[in-house]
Amino acid sequence: MPAARGFHVIDRLSYPLALVLLPLLVLQGRGLRRRVPKLRPPPGVAHGRVPGTGSELRLGIFGESPAAGIGASTAQASLGPRLACSLASRLGRPVAWQVLAGDGWNARRLLQAMRTVEAPPRLDLAVIALGVNDASRLRTARAWRHDLQALMEELGQRWGQPLVVLVGVPPMDRFPVLSQPLRWLMGARSRMLDQVLSSLAASHAASRWVPVDVGLLVPELFAADGFHPGDAGHRAWAEQIAGEAAVLSIPAAAGHRPRG
């Protein structure tokens, strides 16, 4: 398949270049750790409910550090609550939401966490926001797709076949904190992973790929570290995801499975 060949071309090109540039990349990484502030997730991001009338929408947000609220100043300013409020407003329904995400998590780490949750609730809608850490760790296209497929299977088996929104991997060459050649390498890797994400969503009837709007990747929407979204970034990101999710066939009553 042409798309699959494209994934592997990027893999083959970026790995040798990463090895050649390794000393410089190590120096850049150390410099980033010294000068970039270490942000912590605000407390209270794990779960909540937006009141309303009618049947309740059960929402799960899964992913890496932005999904965990890092970059937001308060819990209410973070992605999970913002997304729940936006969906409740758009759909005219109450929304019960929960977050399973963590700093530094990649797809494999999220899958481990999902498998340890005891008696998870049935969800109507699952939002998965991953990819930056997988790109940073130079995960191959094949390994990334394998991990994502395992995540989708886990959601189907234990969370009641929710509709799945796969949030696009942001093009990391637009992150203000990164400099060359790290900026180029992470941009290439993140775009490759995003293509895999899009391809996977196209093969699952009950899933939808929502690419990151590059208009959200402007310096004023980033947090102080130049790496995570700030309050305005979380709000704009949540609105974009909610706008895409609200037009899908989200079940209107408990026990209904989503339609593709």
Beta bridge partners of 129: 63, 167
Return the CATH number at 126.
Answer: 3.40.50.1110
192, part of any domain:
yes
Burial class of residue 129, CB neighbours in 10 A (0-12, 13-18, 19+): buried
CA distance 71 to 257: 34
**70: which 2 tokens?**
């890092």
Q: Rounded CA gap, 137 and 189, in Å?
A: 10
> Nearest CA to 110 among 45, 63, 166, 165?
63
Q: What are the φ/ψ torsions at residue 129 (nearest 5 degrees)?
A: -125, 100
Let me know if residue 86 belongs to a domain: yes
> Contact, 199 vs 144, CB < 8 A?
no
Q: Does residue 63 belong to any structural domain of this protein?
A: yes
Task: Note the pLDDT tens digit of each residue in 200-246.
Answer: 999 988 899 999 999 999 999 999 999 999 999 999 999 999 999 98
pTM of the model: 0.85
- The total of structural domains in the chain comes to 1
Task: Please report the pLDDT score of residue 17 as a whole number.
Answer: 57
Whole domain around residue 125: which residue ranges? Answer: 2-27+50-245
Cα separation values, 45 from 66, 102, 250, Å: 11, 11, 23
Asked if the structure places residue 257 within a domain, the reply is no
Strand partners, 58: 96
Give exposure, 215-254, as e/b (b: 16+ Cβ within 10 Å).
ebbeeebbbebbbbbbbbbbbbbbbbbbebbeebebbeee
**Is residue 163 within 8 Å of residue 206, measured between CB atoms?**
yes
* Residue 251 in domain: no
Does 133 map to a domain? yes
Kindly state whether residue 33 falls inside one of the protein's structural domains: no
Taking alpha carbons only, the member of 92, 102, 34, 15 closest to residue 66 is 102
Let me know if residue 41 belongs to a domain: no
Q: Are 78 and 103 in contact (CB under 8 A)?
A: no
Q: What is the pLDDT along the chain (260 residues), one digit of tens a residue?
A: 344 444 444 455 455 655 555 555 555 556 566 566 789 999 988 999 999 888 999 999 999 999 999 999 999 999 999 999 999 999 999 999 999 999 999 999 999 999 999 888 899 999 999 999 999 888 889 999 999 999 999 999 999 999 999 999 999 999 988 887 778 888 988 999 999 999 999 998 889 999 999 999 999 999 999 999 999 999 999 999 999 998 886 765 444 443 33
